[in-house]
Structure 1
């Protein structure tokens, strides 16, 4: 991890100029800066003791992790020795957050992109949960999922994350963001990877519906209570973002992902899946969706080829003779109407 000169970082941000500000949260401010001909992000904590602790914790957690394409990269740190203020330098994510994409962007993301985001975020959480030691993020939400220049989603903000070595370790007080926070996580002893699974499930519901996770203008206000009731009643279409139509070939995929989301937010912690199981389910679901268009394409090619063959035969043979060979005219009916029998197509395909 690189140690940067504090004054150099201050100058790179124009003394933390508002024009360089790219993000603001409850714990700190994020500025963009050019360092060594590369755009980077600088996180500066707000002046509160808890926020400085969270920054130190984020440095500790991220510096313990190997590089991963689905988790934001820590590039280095800097410290002002005159007052012990610290900054962290991270990769710059120019395309903002998932929250902005869902709730502020003028054009909603297409369904294939949403599925891609599901899988990228799931893999990020899997990387954390299956590593040694396990990392529990504790603040998975759309605001903490950022996009790089290629619109790849990465999990960020590890201020509340916990390095979970063993169940016997002393855990910090329960923490998180209302709406995403697992309601079963009420005491330090309740800390587990299933808390992150709940939050991930809320994010899935948010991506599919584009509804705020807590909306007091609606009843129920909670996205979980609202969506789970509709899923149980098989009213899937009512959950999907109404601004963009759901393609027929993606309907089963989104339905399956909603079932995954419902299991993630189960009130019974034991019924929630592991993140590894979730990744497998989602990847298999996408593979099945890809297989269907391939089959349809093959089918259409075979049908077109069969029609060409029949048309050629009809040009070569006497139409009346062909009809006489068919007692009831079935062949002629199918050719003239453009219809083909399944066995006809598959029989010719088998000859090739």
Structure 2
């Protein structure tokens, strides 16, 4: 467990103008996030428990996030914890890295007028970065299971690199063999509908493969540009919809039609979809590990450059 910097309450209050709405940049069931500029000029994100949770005296999610992130070294594929603070009421506050590049969910689904969905090269890049983030957690000692991987929890830094965020539901497991014998049975299955592994029904079903399933859903979302659950689609579930198209040998019908796909990217995207379908398999044992996922993705990242070079040569020829 690494020692975390303890920020002064007064500095954070001043940096957020007493946590004013003008500084609020995010809000969820677990807390609120404020953009703040510290006295040294550093821009940070400050995460506080929601008012409702404070009234219930339930700040466990924020405290858990602090515990998880302070147990690992900073990683370039995660939104890292810079320090903590305790508010005047005694509740914990987190000071996090500020991500100025937006949220994956918004990038895919809330394109504003004049903007365009991400290119296929960028999608392949972000997919690998997210996979590396999950791999890092699963290879930590003790290993960490995120339990809430979804497009809303993928943020982008100023260089548009993807980072995994929100560790409020994450769990550390000291011994991989103990995954089927979770001692703390009060920790119920958790996650977000559409991304949640349907096989994760009881605490004893907790596994790294739950994260693999959620990652597979995010991968399908990145390739298709559609939401994990869309009632206007039949089936509404992106997993069932994608599997049906794969079974009908219409794999490219899954791809986002808003963006033209270069020839050199077609093979790469096909591989991404195959990996995604493997990740969301109903047979947990047949799902790959995140180490295997990253290895496969690294192979096709190299193929992007080779195919690009070949395409340029053919154009010149």
- Using structure 1 for the length normalisation, give the TM-score: 0.82
CA contact (8 A) 2:182 2:203 kept: no
Contact map agreement 1:201 1:264 (CA 8 A) in 2: yes
1:158-307 mapped onto 2 (5 Å cutoff): 158-166=167-175, 167=178, 168-171=181-184, 172-297=187-312
Residue-pair matches, total: 301
Question: Would you say the 8 A contact 1:27–1:51 is kept in 2?
Answer: no
Unaligned runs of 5+ in 1: 304-352
1:225-255 superposed Cα distances (whole Å, 9 cap, x missing partner): 0011111222122111111111111111101
Structure showing greater radius of gyration is: 1
Instruction: Tell which deviates more after alignment, 110-119 or 236-245.
Output: 236-245
Asked if residue 24 in structure 1 is aligned to residue 27 in structure 2, the reply is: yes
Q: Which residue in 2 is equivalent to 1:141?
A: 150
Q: Distance in 1 between matches of 2:222 and 2:315?
A: 34
Which residues in structure 2 correspond to 1:35-74 (within 5 Å)? 35=38, 36-46=40-50, 47-48=52-53, 49=56, 51-74=58-81
1:280-331, CA deviations, whole angstroms, 9 ceiling, x for partnerless residues?
Answer: 1111012123223334556777x6xxxxxxxxxxxxxxxxxxxxxxxxxxxx
Asked if residue 11 in structure 1 is aligned to residue 17 in structure 2, the reply is no
Measure how far apart 1:28 and its partner are.
Answer: 0.7
- Asked if the contact 1:185/1:191 (under 8 Å) is kept, the reply is yes
2:220 is paired with a residue whose SS is: helix
| Kept after mapping to 1: 8 A contact 2:212/2:279 | yes
Choose from 103, 106, 109 the match for 1:103: 109
**Distance (Å, rounded) in 2 between the aligned partners of 1:117 and 1:37:** 29
* Residue 134 of structure 2 is aligned to residue 125 of structure 1: yes
Higher relative contact order (CA 8 A, sep 6+): 2
Task: Please state how far the C-alpha of 1:169 moved relative to its aligned partner.
Answer: 4.3
Asked if structure 2 preserves the Cα contact closer than 8 Å seen for 1:28 and 1:51, the reply is: no
Task: Supply the distance in 2 between the matched residues of 1:140 and 1:93 (Cα, whole angstroms).
Answer: 17
- 2:99 matched to 1:86? no
Ranges in structure 2 where 5+ consecutive residues have no aligned partner: none
- The separation in 1 between residues aligned to 2:231 and 2:58, in whole angstroms, is 29
Looking at structure 2, the residues matched to 43 and 298 of structure 1 have their Cα atoms a distance apart, in angstroms, of 50
3-state DSSP class of the match of 1:30?
Answer: strand
Instruction: Measure how far apart 1:217 and its partner are.
Output: 2.3
Residues 32 and 92 in structure 1, CA contact (< 8 A), matched pair in contact too: yes
Distance in 2 between residues matched to 1:233 and 1:51, nearest whole Å: 48
Once the two structures are superposed, what CA deviation does each residue of 1:175-226 show, in whole Å capped at 9, x if it has no partner?
Answer: 0000000000000000000000000000000011111111122211111100
Give the distance between the partners of 1:51 and 1:126, measured in 2 at CA. Answer: 30
- Post-superposition offset of 1:8: 2.0
Query: Runs of 4+ in structure 1 displaced over 6 angstroms?
Result: none
